[in-house]
Structure 1
Amino acid sequence: MNAAHPDTLLITLTGKDRPGVTSSVFSTLALAGVEVIDLEQIILRRRLILGVLVSAPRDWKKLAAAVEASAEALEMSVEIERGTGDNRSRREGRSHVTIIGTPLRAAAMAAIAGRIADTGGNIDRIERMARYPVTAIDLFVSGADPETLRTLLAVEAAQQGIDIAVQPATMLRRGMRLIVMDVDSTLIQGEVIEMLAAHAGHEPEVARITEQAMRGEIDFEESLRRRVRLLAGLDESVLDQVYADIVVSPGARTMVRTLRRLGYRFAIVSGGFSQITDRLATDLGIHFARANELEIVDGVITGEIVGAVVDRAGKAEALREFAEKVGVTQDATIAIGDGANDLDMLNAAGLGIAFNARPVVQQAADTAVNVPYLDAILYLLGISREEIEAADAEAGFVTPSPPV
């Protein structure tokens, strides 16, 4: 470096944010006729941090003195670092690492940063995605292979009791995508077949078979047919009662509403029953739905299924079919599920998310979300809570205020 005449000046300004700070700094820089090479500004708790990399004029000391005088007038601190050359491009291996915690403790962040450093990665930028009802942070990481990061950080996430998603930093994150969701214990709370079984007096037996199937201990189709036979004799009006009792997972409506504004398409694929899922799709504004059809004769559930069973393989096939209808590649699909019968669908998607899932599913999926809010998925897509609330406010939706 030529100390007498540096090529660049890095100016870092910090202090209380107020209107006119950025304008004042650039007015000072404009008088020297410098070129802006790089720029970044963040506000944290009403504290502003502004970093500007500019070309250095011949009389760079005069510019430095002018910037220092401007900072003093603004009651802010400034650091000026001399350098040479343009700022270098980020290294290969660029990823988004999204961290979700309730709470997110400093010890967890220290552990995560340590694992990233172990891979040779560098955290280029940090952005808060949400502070309520969960804390979500997005790290922009370079210099590390995304698959290596995902493997290391999955172990750290389990140890720290937080959720971590690693995605390659590509344009796909900002493109229109198809989201395919499981229904029972994912889009809604609980299992519809168990709710039906309660009316038939067989809830404990059905719940036991359901749990075995979700853990992958017995074949899904076999488990489904065994459970459905226990529903034989129920009046079809029970379906209306069960639908009225369904509780949609917290954040599900927010997620669908928000992403539909961005052109996303949605599908639900369920091992449950079309008599329920078709109504649910209409209610939530979901574009496609596929599920099993209960046989009903003379207003009575017979205990049989009409046609082929939507099983583990059938869910993955539905994802591929819906992607083709929408006109997106499989890489542009996101699958969300919780059970073993979702595994093929999760693996077929560009991003497979295990939502409050069984351990076998969490280990196989690209990432896991274990908070009870389905709209936490939005943070993985780079959408912040502030953006969600602003869009809802503009559309007339009222969202609860976070605690002070």
Structure 2
Amino acid sequence: MSTSADAEQYTGLILLSGVDKPGITASLFEVLSPFSITIVDIEQVVIKDRLILTVLITLNPAHEDAIAADLETCSASLDVDIASLFSYADKSMLNIKTNLVRISLSSVKLLPKAIEELAEVIHQNGANIESVTRLASNPVTTIEFVISGAKKEALNQSLSPIASSNGAEITVQ
């Protein structure tokens, strides 16, 4: 017999933001290391000099208060903001995504309209953007979108007009 405890896992979502400097990521994980936790997902991005780091962990609910207190101390010592959200989540929502499609958008002058149109096509195809990353910036800006839930063939057809109307190159992998 399955119980709700079998279908759910206690998670912590940690969001760190602030001015980037060496050692922030190492310090955050040093704080988390003494605890019996598992890292489920992690994303880090630096734009200009601003850092955003998100970490999803699974943990024993009894450790929540201690982890939250240590994160607060870490936040003060690093002079960054750290927010956390602890809750039960359906285990199926924590699974690693498969069948991901990568879309690269490249242009000498990347305009918001190109990204809006690309995002709309992704949405119309029932897909979801999982991550966005800048791969290059000079002389051509290249942005990579990793998406889930779409068919590569359908995307190729839908994205072709966007490339030509925005003076961009779009590749789907």
- Letter matched to residue 108 of structure 1: A
Q: Which residue of 1 aligns with 2:171?
A: 165
Structure 2 residue matching 1:31: 3-state secondary structure: coil
CA offset at residue 6 of structure 1?
A: 6.2
Q: 2:64·2:86 contact (CA, 8 Å) conserved in 1?
A: no
Distance of 1:6 and 1:143 partners within structure 2 = 24
Q: Which residue of 1 aligns with 2:129?
A: 123
Aligned partner of 1:114 among 106, 111, 120: 120
1:104 matches 2:110: yes
Distance of 1:20 and 1:91 partners within structure 2 = 32
Q: Root-mean-square deviation (CA), in Å?
A: 2.1
- Letter matched to residue 64 of structure 1: A
Aligned partner of 1:37 among 30, 40, 50: 40
Distance of 2:9 and 2:106 partners within structure 1 = 42
Aligned partner of 2:52 among 36, 49, 53: 49
Q: Which residue of 2 aligns with 1:87?
A: 94
- Letter matched to residue 88 of structure 1: N
Q: Residue deviations 1:4-44, cap 9 Å, x none?
A: x9611111111111111112111111232322222222222
Structure 1 residue matching 2:33: 3-state secondary structure: helix
Structure 2 residue matching 1:18: 3-state secondary structure: coil
Q: Which residue of 2 aligns with 1:17?
A: 20
- Letter matched to residue 42 of structure 2: L
- Letter matched to residue 81 of structure 1: L
Distance of 2:140 and 2:85 partners within structure 1 = 38
Q: 1:6·1:82 contact (CA, 8 Å) conserved in 2?
A: no
Q: Which residue of 2 aligns with 1:78?
A: 82
4+ long deviations beyond 4 Å: none
Distance of 2:9 and 2:154 partners within structure 1 = 39
Distance of 2:127 and 2:36 partners within structure 1 = 36
Q: Residue deviations 1:266-286, cap 9 Å, x none?
A: xxxxxxxxxxxxxxxxxxxxx
Q: Which residue of 1 aligns with 2:143?
A: 137
Matches within 5 A, 1:1-400: 7-57=10-60, 58-83=62-87, 84=89, 85=91, 87-92=94-99, 94-167=100-173
Structure 1 residue matching 2:25: 3-state secondary structure: helix
Distance of 2:172 and 2:38 partners within structure 1 = 36
Distance of 2:58 and 2:96 partners within structure 1 = 17
Distance of 2:82 and 2:95 partners within structure 1 = 23
Q: Residue deviations 1:105-135, cap 9 Å, x none?
A: 1121111111111101111111212111111
Identity %: 30
Q: Which has the higher contact order (CA 8 A, sep 6+)?
A: 2
CA offset at residue 77 of structure 1?
A: 1.6
Unmatched segments (≥5 aa) in structure 2: none
Structure 2 residue matching 1:28: 3-state secondary structure: helix
- Larger CA Rg, structure 1 vs 2: 1
Distance of 2:73 and 2:9 partners within structure 1 = 21
- Letter matched to residue 101 of structure 1: S
CA offset at residue 46 of structure 1?
A: 2.2
Distance of 1:34 and 1:90 partners within structure 2 = 21
CA offset at residue 67 of structure 1?
A: 0.7
Unmatched segments (≥5 aa) in structure 1: 168-404
